[in-house]
Structure 1
Amino acid sequence: MHAGRRDDADVIVVGAGPAGSATAHWCASAGLDVLLLEKASFPRDKVCGDGLTPRAVAELARMGVDTREDDGWIRNEGLRVVAGGRSWELAWPDLASYPSYGMARSRATLDHLLAQHAQASGAKLLERTKVTGPLLDERSGRVAGVTAQLLDGRGRADGETRTYRAPVVVAADGVSSRFATALGLTRRDDRPIGTAVRTYYRTAGTPRHEDAFMESHLELWDGAPGASTLLPGYGWIFALGDGTANVGLGSVSSTPARQSASGHDYRALMDAWVRSTPAEWGFTPENQVGPVRGAALPMGFNRTPLYRDGAVLVGDAAGMVSPFNGEGIAYALQAGRVAADAITQARTRTTDDARERTLATYADRMRADLGGYYTLGRWFVRLIEHPAVMRACVRHGLPRPVVMRFVLKLLSDCYEPRGGDWVDRVIAGLTRVVPAA
């Protein structure tokens, strides 16, 4: 750093979604000065299924987030799988590593709560602050901070561009990650990409109110069921416990090129699927709350490297969504914890080279923990892209109890990494022997 220049923080976090707020919380808890910059103002919405697997609940517990049911949280007992005219209720696995329940909460309130949790830990949150690009050190080219634009209540520029300096910047700014893109860290074309659409329905007085199971429908037809293509993906119904349910669907492609070539109209698919649901569920235009909104799901570490020259990528900015189920919150929270540990440890190193090596351990740890699982997920997507394979899995695989055990543990990423039953050991063994993503 040049003489006379002072840093504004020890670390700047760009984006206050789950990944950014988790990073900010853990860094602030370790005594670092943290600036958390968010372009919107809370509460604000994000397109998501709003479901939290036991893996995500475990991360919230580590953070000390209060998840009492009388504070807006709803617990669920497991996953209900619907396919081929049948349904199976699969309880979450009873594991030492994760709790035996999942949860649900709308992103509008979840993200706000996590940002407030980061503030309570000591992070400084600046809302309506849009990061416009990285600030680079003139001599080394290393990231030295960010440039940002203040926004008014309508999201328009309000005032001059500001500069904030820090030795480490965490990009948690979502799937597009303009910050990472400005550094030349572009999305990979050899990784899966998903598309999800969702809306909300009022459910009070219907069978869908406060459902104890998260529900997944594994048959999505691009047209009349049985008369057209069976898509790789699923529809979901997640009760939120507040008189509404999150209802949506998602589909996945092995590469962005295959997704572009598919030409599916996901809003039309959503409309057709919802209209086919039983009338007593109440999924009607009169009960719909808000529009159908869509978003891309970046999967399997689709932007790398996860660390370079003072920039750390977490959550959707790094493509940390699971190719198996479209889940991203658990990995976003985990990435924030692991990134904060590397950043905190780097502060104790006495040379630039040692600090860089320590910061780079973040990428190594994330790849070691998730790389094999994401590789299996890529292979899984390539298989189910073939309608015949997808049809065989639904018709012949799901009715078998052993297959269902694998499905639950793989789709939820809830298995014992060491020990556990034989299903856990098989999955864990496969993640270790395949090439890491």
Structure 2
Amino acid sequence: MTMRVVTAPAEPPQGASHVAPSFTRMDTSVLGRWWWTVDRPMLGAVALLIAAGVFLILAAGPPAAGRIGAQTYHFVQRQFLFVPVAGVLVIAVSLLPVLWVRRIAVLLFALFMVLLLGTLFVSSDIKGASRWIAIGPFALQPSEFVKPTFAVVTAWMFASARTQDRFPGNLIAMLLMAVVGALLVAQPDFGMTMVVACVWGTQFFLAGLSLVWVVLLAAVGMIGAVIAYFALPHVQSRVDRFLDPASGDQYQIRQSMKAFMEGGLFGRGPGEGRVKEFLPDAHTDFIFAVAGEEFGLFLCLTIVALFAFLIIRSAIRLRREQNLFVLIAAGGLLTQLGLQALINMASSLSLIPTKGMTLPFISYGGSSLLSTAVAMGMVLALTRRRAHGERT
């Protein structure tokens, strides 16, 4: 007669049943493959920029609400509704394969082009511009979403012109640029037009345009700038005030520069800034000045470094990329991100004429935050490590 010893299964350590399983390299699930192919340092940089935006909106939002007679945390609460959505969008879009990045971009581009056209007829005029469509208590700015989707669609056209015989991709890209530019000028939004044109020009260059086209496009840009200066009083006023500060009102710039001087190296401390109480657009166009006053040069340089890191890191990820569409699309999206951040920060520092443009991920504005999240999600998707031969 033999005895069988039955051993009870070992109990898991206390609390182990509540620990979520970690991703391993053998995990073939969608999230598992995404985790090991996406650039996690870039994902972390995006999270830090969003976090910086949260802190700065907390600082700049209440004074801005007080100036319009709204509830103290009016802008803070509205922005906080979009922050988690932006986080989800970054991850969700970065999960897409290259083929679906292109498909989604085409669909969204068509949708927001219709809405962009609609702003000319149903938009309410705000500060002399018709850029927003009211959706309940919120206002949607279609041009913000046209920017990233336009970059992907034109990248497809430029790449197809090089890889498919007799495909008129360059001509289609030119026509799209003309239509988008015309709609943006009609609003009017010359800053957005300039950014879109620069992105388009960068993509055309990456697609291998000849030197003749470089000279021609540069000439067209210069002629357009001269026409805008002489034909549009507000453009002329901004340029004149930049070149000669005594020629007009420089209130916002003076307050912005004062904020940087008050902040010094380490800032006055969270919530201790005073210039933001007198700076009308402190929560939007001049939020970089709020960062300078409350957190000093340290945070300002950190923000600059994070944007630089995203662009340089993406370029490193793309250095061995063989897919022309991926190169052109990612190049356009990164140009858009870097140029918009540069314009906002340079305007706050009086290095260029002022231009109403948000600081990506940081300034107040749901349309700006969500469209930037879509753009960065696309960059993360395009720069993921892909197996050789993966369908794109």
Which TM-score tier does this pair reach, normalised by the shorter chain?
under 0.3
**What's the TM-score, normalizing by structure 1?**
0.22
Higher RCO structure (Cα 8 Å, ≥6 apart): 2
> Highest Rg: 1 or 2?
2
More strand by share: 1
